[in-house]
Amino acid sequence: MFDKNNVKKYLKTSYLGQIIKYYPELDSTNNEALALITKNALNGTVVITDNQTKGRGRQSNKWLSTPSKNLTFSIILYPNSPLNQINYYSMLAGLAITDCLMEHNITAQLKWPNDVFINGKKVGGILCESKIRGEEIKSMVIGIGLNVNVQTDALTKVLHNATSLFIESGTTFQREKLLANILNHLENRLQNTDNINPQLKEWEMRCAHLNQAVTFHSDNNFIHGIFKGLSPTGQAKMLIDDKNVYFDSGELFN
Ligand code: BTN
């Protein structure tokens, strides 16, 4: 069972994860986090479960997770930041996850907008959901799913292009320590949203498909082009017929 008291041993943050709400079972940690926002949960509160029964992914996909083997959690933030910074949160979460994996000698890549890959297989995903008022982001839930200790059979029976940290490294990870490390990195990265360019460049350096031919699925169209990185607001920049075209949302294939 996940032990939230164990997270504190490794946590170096001032607000992220200072309050952790652990549930043995939940439909979706993002749903619970959104509900807690209506009850004025504190900035940085983390919602985590050992058994997420209706995990949600982007584009109405499901997020499947084996009980007690993985990390499924959501972080509550009240950014009060300009709307044009909305894409930063998933980029910074992807960077924080890969920072943490690097500390464990695992090299992971990012796929726009917010998938984490190891050796061409998906190990993690991020689902950000926000409430906007006017031109301001009032609240933000960053939901993270990371396949940690799940073994080959349990995972690949259901998901063909998925992997876990255990499968890639042969090592069992302490989930509490991983969570703390992700939060430590994320808090650092969130401090620098006003000078975002260096972090967007880092994201591009960790991207699995920079300067590669990709297909973009957006608004029922399949568009072919070269992925050229991020715009200053974190949109996908694609070179299509010698012109830069920017995308806010969509699914990317390579
Ligand atoms: C994706 O790859 O499409 C994003 C997956 C995000 C899954 C996480 S697990 C914790 C949080 N709660 C959810 O219901 N979804 C996110």
pLDDT in tens, 103-127: 999 999 999 988 999 999 999 999 9
Name the residue of 46, 49, 144 to mutate for ligand 1: max ligand atoms within 8 A of Cβ. 144
Q: What is the pLDDT of residue 148?
A: 97
CA of 74 to the centre of ligand 1 (A): 8
Whether 126 is in the pocket of ligand 1, judged by its Cβ within 6 Å, is: yes
Relative to the CA of 57, which ligand 1 atom is closest? 3
Q: What is the pLDDT of residue 220?
A: 83
Instruction: Name residues whose C-beta falls within 8 Å of residue 227's C-beta, 6 or more positions apart in sequence.
Output: 112, 207, 209, 210, 211, 212, 214, 236, 237, 238, 252, 254
pLDDT in tens, 19-55: 999 999 999 999 999 999 999 999 999 999 999 999 9
pLDDT band at 158 (very low <50, low <70, confident <90, very high): low
What's the whole-number mean pLDDT along residues 214-223? 87
pLDDT band at 249 (very low <50, low <70, confident <90, very high): confident
Relative to the CA of 55, which ligand 1 atom is closest? 14
Q: Whose CA is nearest to atom 2 of ligand 1?
A: 125
Q: What is the pLDDT of residue 160?
A: 74
pLDDT in tens, 60-93: 889 999 999 999 999 999 999 999 999 999 999 9
Q: What is the pLDDT of residue 157?
A: 63
Q: What is the pLDDT of residue 218?
A: 79
pLDDT over 80 (residue 156)? no
pLDDT over 90 (residue 198)? yes
pLDDT band at 250 (very low <50, low <70, confident <90, very high): confident
**8 A C-beta contact, residue 166 and residue 67:** no
Name the residue of 31, 63, 75 to mutate for ligand 1: max ligand atoms within 8 A of Cβ. 63
Whether 122 is in the pocket of ligand 1, judged by its Cβ within 6 Å, is: no
pLDDT in tens, 168-190: 999 999 999 999 999 999 999 99
pLDDT over 70 (residue 254)? yes
| 3-state SS track over the chain | CCCHHHHHCCCCCCCCCCCEEEEEEECCHHHHHHHHHHCCCCCCCEEEEEEECCEECHHHCEECCCCCCCEEEEEEECCCEEHHHCCHHHHHHHHHHHHHHHHCCCCCEEECCCEEEECCEEEEEEEEEEEEECCEEEEEEEEEEECCCCCHHHHHCCCCCECCHHHHHCCCCCHHHHHHHHHHHHHHHHCCHHHCHHHHHHHHHHECCCCCEEEEEECCEEEEEEEEEECCCCCEEEEECCEEEEECCCEEEC
pLDDT in tens, 69-78: 999 999 999 9
Dmax (CA) of the chain? 54
CA of 193 to the centre of ligand 1 (A): 23
Q: Which of 78, 232, 191, 190 is nearest to 141 (CA)?
A: 78
pLDDT band at 251 (very low <50, low <70, confident <90, very high): confident
